[in-house]
Amino acid sequence: MAQIDEIIVAESGGQIPVVASVTSGHVIPTLSLAKHAQCVGADGFCRYYQVLSLVLTIPICIQNFDCPIGTSMTPELLARICSELEQVECIKEE
């Protein structure tokens, strides 16, 4: 995944924002992917919002993915996350 981020950021040449997915089953690999994507110039991230917001300085995109694969978030939870974390800039509804 890290090499893909590098290629996409390089190919975009700064002409369009790059939103990197840092999906993982655990927060440690997610942080590693997120830090790498930030270093290569990605413009946004998805998932693990509270922990990521403590470590990263770039925008966060919340991915609201419904069951059975994902975990759907209530409007109240989404509102709380958005109000508490200033890096959250968008919500991706699936």
Q: Which of the residues in the chain have pLDDT under 70?
A: 1, 22-24, 38, 40-48, 66-72
Q: Which helix (H) or strand (E) holds 46?
A: strand 44-46
pTM above 0.75, yes or no: no
| Amino acid of residue 37 | A
| Amino acid of residue 29 | P
Angle at 46 between CA 41 and CA 52, to 5 degrees: 80
Instruction: Give dist(CA 45, CA 56) in Å, integer.
Output: 9
